């Protein structure tokens, strides 16, 4: 063979593997790890394309007819300049997207960009995919889930929500809200897990696992966002976004633990709060965002700003004199994604070119955003279809869980022997502003088709229509009941054997008459408007008065507590809340929920929470009023009774040990039921003050009548720790009381060196 030909063949044989290797070593190669693909893509990106990944815009165009033949053209025109920015690779994510068709069009525009980087589509999926334009599964809100004391419910709800999100082209849930509530006036309590850091942590951890799975690499996973960092639940005057002046000790003891838990469970995004903390706005707090959360707690994901909050560093907080400087301060503090609007891109680009923001800060932010897109599989599967939507939304398993979350969240606050209602009640009046209202869906949900919701009136008709007369007097508004409505209720109540008054609040996202929710904080904790007047008229009729509360935050009414024959706290129970409430009224469901937040006597009794410090009331209480709350954290009645016996706790333990204890619980009543067993600790003498008790373990169990179970709990070593005077975590030798729920079963363990 000619030597020249031999050389050509050899050269070709050597080139083939190199060419093959070059083809495989590309960010488009799905066989490579996400980390490797990020490295390869970063090498291809211009500064413009990198900063674009940090920019989030809204895509909502609800006036577009998605059945039109010209949908893409119409929608692209509606997007205006945003369409061009997507094609130029200058937008990385969207929120306020309404339908899967809209998501697909946006992804199509992104695929026209030079590097074809897909978009992240985000939404506030707090208790179901409720902001989607069409009917979806709406579960009980977070405060109701917390009342269930069953993290498994929260985890499964998040898992099912993630499935509905991915089916419709969404990948990023702005959830869970793991803020701890310390001011009951705050309008966002319904989207939290209440006042206790341990309960909030456990429920938040469960939701992160449900959304993200092991590593959010499944086609049914989304990325979660722990929000809002930090102390939004103790704002000045109870007003959303107001400053939080709170000690570092309280931050570490109360407000930080749920975020640490979310990070330990792999949460991939964190959203700072609207507020300032001790003088520093959350979106500009390098000491927290970079040094603490990343440096000490090991957070590996990225931050997203809350709505327009980077701009508010200038307009609200007044720490800078221009939007450009606000962008600089936020990005240097650690912010990675700017939620909504133009200006950020140009400012950040100029700041990089001027040397004010290092290129490395941009690369660090973008690498984390790209990692999420690769890990979610969006480069290979960015679109969805009508078939996927139709076979995923409102699946039977999802709807069954929606009912279960409603059933498990109900708390029985009072029962003067009238519940459960017997069958055959001759005449029942159902009234109140929430009797036939979708307020039971709660915040962060669009109004659903009537066929997708069972109201309380409909639920009661399901249970009683066959053998009782059901009257209904509609009440149009929560905040103002007319004289005609009051008169009609009074007349009808006199004829009724039982009146079921469904009262409370309205936090529906787009209802102009809502009375609580984000940015609708409460100057009073009593029932809004003249709802109490309606209840007084019913009481005067002599009929049995059963009050059902549908609400996000606690209702503090001494009159209601003293005068109603029974009170059911249903929270905002979701799409099948009416059925769950009616089943509870008739005894098909034995209520087992417990309060995740203290209900004070009035707004004047704030702040009220169970884990106060020992000196809180050592000088007495309130003038002409009890200092005790109406209902304390963990409170809840049942249609049956439970007996606790044989508490077994070791007498001593070492400071480096955990504690294992057992207790027997028996259902001693006539009905099957659920009991929530709660374990508290009290450090009897400590070198810094510690709470009178703190929750360290809980478990909800079901017991048939006469059934007994032995439960074992292991109290983690770290639960015995405190922060000393130097803010270091230590376990001090000494006596600790072990307290079992409100049964006050107490044992003492000596912790020794």
Q: Is the dihedral of CA 75, 78, 84, 86 positive or negative?
A: negative
Do 408-617 and 642-752 have matching folds? no
* Average per-residue pLDDT for the chain: 94
pLDDT band (50, 70, 90) for residue 511? very high
Contacts of 399 (CB under 8 A, 6+ apart): 137, 575, 576
Q: How confident is residue 63, by pLDDT bands cut at 50, 70 and 90?
A: low
pLDDT of 739 strictly over 90: yes
Tens of pLDDT, residues 107-146: 999 999 999 999 999 999 999 999 999 999 999 999 999 9
Identify the band that residue 6 occupies on the pLDDT scale cut at 50, 70 and 90. Answer: very low
Mean pLDDT of 192-203: 98
Give me the residue spans of the domains in the chain: 408-617, 642-752
SS3 percent helix, strand, coil of the chain, rounded to 5, is: 35, 20, 45
Q: Is 132:183 a contact under the CB 8 Å cutoff?
A: no
Query: What does the pLDDT look like over 616-632, one tens digit per residue?
Result: 888 887 888 888 999 99
310-329: average pLDDT = 98
Find the length of the chain: 753
Q: How open is the CA angle 203-206-207, to the nearest 5 degrees?
A: 90
pLDDT category at 424 given cuts 50, 70, 90 is: confident
Over residues 580-592, the mean pLDDT reads: 98
CATH architecture of 642-752: Sandwich (2.60)
Q: Looking up tokens 């031999």, which residue turns up?
A: 6
Q: How far is it, in rounded angstroms, from Cα 50 to Cα 44?
A: 10
742 pLDDT tier (thresholds 50, 70, 90): confident
Q: How confident is the model at residue 12, as a pLDDT? A: 39
Q: Quick one: tokens of 45?
A: 């990106």
CA distance 438 to 434: 8
- DSSP string computed for 47-67: HHHHHHHTEEEE---TT--TT
Give the Cβ contact number of residue 664 at 10 Å: 14
Q: What are phi and psi of 567, to 5 degrees?
A: -135, 125
pLDDT at 493: 98
Strand ranges (E), 559-672: 566-569, 642-648, 652-654, 659-667
The span from the CA of 504 to the CA of 435, in Å, is: 10
Burial class (CB in 10 A: 0-12, 13-18, 19+), 722: middle
State how far the Cα of 559 lies from the Cα of 433, in Å rounded to an integer: 19
**What pLDDT digit, counting tens, does each position of 472-486 carry?**
999 999 999 999 999
Q: In what order do the strands lie in the sheet with 269-272?
A: 225-229, 269-272, 302-303
Looking at CATH, the fold of the domain delimited by 408-617 is given as Rossmann fold (3.40.50)
Q: Does residue 666 surpass a pLDDT of 60?
A: yes
pLDDT digits over 74-93, tens only?
A: 888 889 999 999 999 999 99
Q: Does position 212 have pLDDT exceeding 80, yes or no?
A: yes
CA distance 442 to 130: 10
Band of pLDDT at residue 67, cut at 50, 70 and 90: low
Asked whether the beta carbons of 446 and 510 are under 8 A apart, the reply is yes
Q: Residues 413, 415, 421, CA angle at the centre, nearest 5°?
A: 120
Which ranges of 496-556 does DSSP label H, i.e. alpha helix? Answer: 531-540
Burial class for 521, CB neighbours closer than 10 Å (0-12, 13-18, 19+): buried
- In whole angstroms, give the CA distance from residue 394 to residue 402: 10
CA-based end-to-end distance of the chain: 86
Number of other residues whose CB lies within 10 A of the CB of residue 62:
10
The pLDDT of residue 289: 98
Residue 720 contacts by C-beta under 8 Å, 6 or more apart in sequence? 655, 659, 681, 683, 731, 736, 751
pLDDT in tens, 453-465: 999 999 999 999 8
pLDDT of res. 148: 98
Q: What's the rounded Cα separation, in Å, for the pair 120 and 534?
A: 49
At residue 64, the pLDDT reads 59
Of 741, 439, 421, which is closest to residue 594 (Cα–Cα)? Answer: 741
Contacts (Cβ under 8 Å, ≥6 apart) of 384: 100, 103, 104, 166, 167, 168, 169
The two tokens of residue 94 are 């969207």
Q: Is it the case that residue 68 has pLDDT exceeding 90? A: no
Q: Smallest Cα–Cα separation from 647: which of 625, 671, 680?
A: 680
| Average pLDDT, integer, range 420-445 | 96
Place 3 in a pLDDT band, splitting at 50, 70 and 90: very low
Q: What pTM, to 2 d.p., does this model score?
A: 0.95
- pLDDT tens-digit profile of 168-180? 999 999 999 999 9
Is the predicted pLDDT of residue 10 greater than 50, yes or no? no
| Contact between residue 104 and residue 384 where contact means Cβ atoms under 8 Å apart | yes
Mean pLDDT of 41-60: 96
pLDDT of residue 617: 87
């Amino acid at each position: 063979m000619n030597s020249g030909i031999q050389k050509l063949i050899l050269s070709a044989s050597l080139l083939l593997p190199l060419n093959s290797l070059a083809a495989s070593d590309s960010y488009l190669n799905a066989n490579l790890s996400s980390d490797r693909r990020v490295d390869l893509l970063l090498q291809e990106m211009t500064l413009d394309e990198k900063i674009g990944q940090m920019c989030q815009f809204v895509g909502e165009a609800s006036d577009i007819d998605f059945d039109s033949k010209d949908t893409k053209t119409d929608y692209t025109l509606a997007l205006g300049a945003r369409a061009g920015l997507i094609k130029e690779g200058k937008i990385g994510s969207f929120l306020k997207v309404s339908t899967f068709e809209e998501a697909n069009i946006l992804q199509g525009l992104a695929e026209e960009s030079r590097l074809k980087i897909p978009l992240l589509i985000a939404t506030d999926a707090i208790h179901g995919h409720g902001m989607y334009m069409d009917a979806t599964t709406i579960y009980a809100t977070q405060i109701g889930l917390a009342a269930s004391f069953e993290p498994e419910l929260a985890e499964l709800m998040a898992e099912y929500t993630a499935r509905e999100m991915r089916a419709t082209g969404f990948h990023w849930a702005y959830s869970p809200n793991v803020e701890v509530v310390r001011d009951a006036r705050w309008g966002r309590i319904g989207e939290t897990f209440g006042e206790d850091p341990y309960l909030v942590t456990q429920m938040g951890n469960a939701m992160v696992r449900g959304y993200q799975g092991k590593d959010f690499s499944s086609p049914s996973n989304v990325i979660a966002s722990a929000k809002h960092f930090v102390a939004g639940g103790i704002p000045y005057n109870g007003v959303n976004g107001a400053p939080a002046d709170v000690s570092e000790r309280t931050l570490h003891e109360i407000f930080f633990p749920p975020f640490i838990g979310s990070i330990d469970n792999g949460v991939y995004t964190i959203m700072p709060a609207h507020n300032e903390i001790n003088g520093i706005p959350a979106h500009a707090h390098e000491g927290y965002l970079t040094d603490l959360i990343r440096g000490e707690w090991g957070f590996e994901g990225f931050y997203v700003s809350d709505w327009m909050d980077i701009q508010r560093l200038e307009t609200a907080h007044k720490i800078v004199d221009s939007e450009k400087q606000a962008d600089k301060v936020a990005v240097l503090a650690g912010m990675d994604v700017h939620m909504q609007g133009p200006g950020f891109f140009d400012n950040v680009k100029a700041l990089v070119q001027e040397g004010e923001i290092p290129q490395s800060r941009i690369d660090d932010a973008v690498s984390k955003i790209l990692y999420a897109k690769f890990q979610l599989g969006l480069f290979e599967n960015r679109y969805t279809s009508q078939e996927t939507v139709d076979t995923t939304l409102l699946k039977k398993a999802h709807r069954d869980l929606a009912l279960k979350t409603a059933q498990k969240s109900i708390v029985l606050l009072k029962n003067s022997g009238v519940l459960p209602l017997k069958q055959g009640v001759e005449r029942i009046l159902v009234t109140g502003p929430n009797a036939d209202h979708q307020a039971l869906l709660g915040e962060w949900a669009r109004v659903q088709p009537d066929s997708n919701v069972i109201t309380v009136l409909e639920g009661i008709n399901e249970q009683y229509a066959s053998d009782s007369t059901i009257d209904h007097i509609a009440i149009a508004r929560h905040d103002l009941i007319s004289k005609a409505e009051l008169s009609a209720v009074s007349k009808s109540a006199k004829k009724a054997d039982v009146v079921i008054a469904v009262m409370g609040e309205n936090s529906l996202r787009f209802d102009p008459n809502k009375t609580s929710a984000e940015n609708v904080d409460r100057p009073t904790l009593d029932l809004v408007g003249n709802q109490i007047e309606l209840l007084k008229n019913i009481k005067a009729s002599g009929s049995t008065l059963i009050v059902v509360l549908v609400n996000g935050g606690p209702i503090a009414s001494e009159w209601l507590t003293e005068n109603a024959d029974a009170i059911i706290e249903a929270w905002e129970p979701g799409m099948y809340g009416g059925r769950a409430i009616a089943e509870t009224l008739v005894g098909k469901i034995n209520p087992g929920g417990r309060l995740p937040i203290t209900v004070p006597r009035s707004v004047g009794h704030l702040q009220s929470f169970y884990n106060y410090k020992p000196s809180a009331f050592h000088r007495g209480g309130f003038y002409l009023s009890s200092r005790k709350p109406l209902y304390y954290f963990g409170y809840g009645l049942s249609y049956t009774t439970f007996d606790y016996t044989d508490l077994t706790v070791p007498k001593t333990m070492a400071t480096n040990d955990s504690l294992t204890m057992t207790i027997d619980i028996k259902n001693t009543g006539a009905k099957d039921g659920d009991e929530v067993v709660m374990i508290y600790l009290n450090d009897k003498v400590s070198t810094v003050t510690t709470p009178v008790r703190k929750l360290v373990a809980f478990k909800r169990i079901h017991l048939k009548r006469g059934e007994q179970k032995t439960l074992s709990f292991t109290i983690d070593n770290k639960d015995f720790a405190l922060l000393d005077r130097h803010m270091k975590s230590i376990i001090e030798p000494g006596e600790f009381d072990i307290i079992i729920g409100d049964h006050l079963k107490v044992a003492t363990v000596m912790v020794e060196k």
